Amino acid sequence: MKSTAIVVHFGDPAPTLSVVGSVASLVSETVVAVNDSSPRPPGLPADVEWSVMERNLGYGAAFMRAAAGRRSDIYVLLNNDLDFPAESFRHCLHSLEADRSIGVLGPVLRFADGRLQSGAGWLTRWRKQPRALAEPGPGPVDCAWVTGAAMFLSARLVEEIGMDGSYFLGYEDSDLCLRARRAGFRVVCHGAAPAVHHGAQVISGPRWSYYVPRNRVWFARANFGPMVALLVWLGELAVIPRVLLADLLKRRDVTSTRLRLLGAVHAYRRKPAMAEGPLPGEPLPGRVMRW
């Protein structure tokens, strides 16, 4: 079966070169989806495609753009800050090859010290928010979602369901898994396939403070309706005083508070349709960070 690894790149080329070097020999082809317009770095293997996006498309849209027009059986979506052992990679690849009912499969991700970072994800009861800290056990286990930092995807799922790039950064993974399960695909976390995730290199800085509240509400409204979205939005507002206190007492900088407020305000703007991709001004937090 043909397999295509797509690594989303932004920033320092060293992590991307490391990930590509560890997985390129395990797949049929490797593509780097370049979100920062950087030139092809020295040392990148000649058979690896360096695909420069027309602008920063974020995570999901860059993946979908890089996958468009290809003929593959399995797509492997990878962040560029992973240590992915070859044995774990093969476990995931072979499990997806062996079971056509699986649409999405992910390894169990750990911190460098072995602590669980993201496992067999689930959704909370009332606000339907994704939670990642569930040990999958010693083998493959069905779950609600797996993190997008490392996803093995069937070609049929990519073609029929696709990843919604309008989120830009965050929640595109849980949204994809939810829609996949509703369409009859299985979502699986492979407990016998550990990898280490070092933290976001795709987009650096405090921008998560903006995207977490905005995309939580977008995800809730798109998948569970306006009442659940309202619960999520109220919960995000309740967190802001605590963030402001930490900004004043610890960080001596109120950027995180500004970003959370902007994210809460933008949460009730119209979410672009999947076909539209990310908003033209992304990443939006830059306007606040320049204050």
From first to last of its 291 residues, what are the pLDDT tens digits of the chain?
A: 999 999 999 999 999 999 999 999 999 999 999 999 999 999 999 999 999 999 999 999 999 999 999 999 999 999 999 999 999 999 999 999 999 999 999 999 999 999 999 999 999 999 999 999 999 999 999 999 999 999 999 999 999 999 999 999 999 999 999 999 999 999 999 999 999 998 744 444 568 889 999 999 999 999 999 999 999 999 999 999 999 999 999 888 898 899 999 999 999 999 999 999 999 888 877 655 544
Nearest to 194 by CA among 290, 36, 85, 268: 85
pLDDT at 281: 85
Strand partners, 82: 197
pTM: 0.94
What stretches of 111-232 adopt beta strand conformation (E)? 116-118, 122-123, 130-131, 140-142, 150-154, 186-197
Residue 238: count other Cβ atoms within 10 Å of its Cβ: 9
What phi, psi does 139 have (nearest 5°)? -150, -165
pLDDT at 288: 53
pLDDT at 286: 61
Under 8 Å between Cβ of 172 and 164: yes
pLDDT at 274: 96
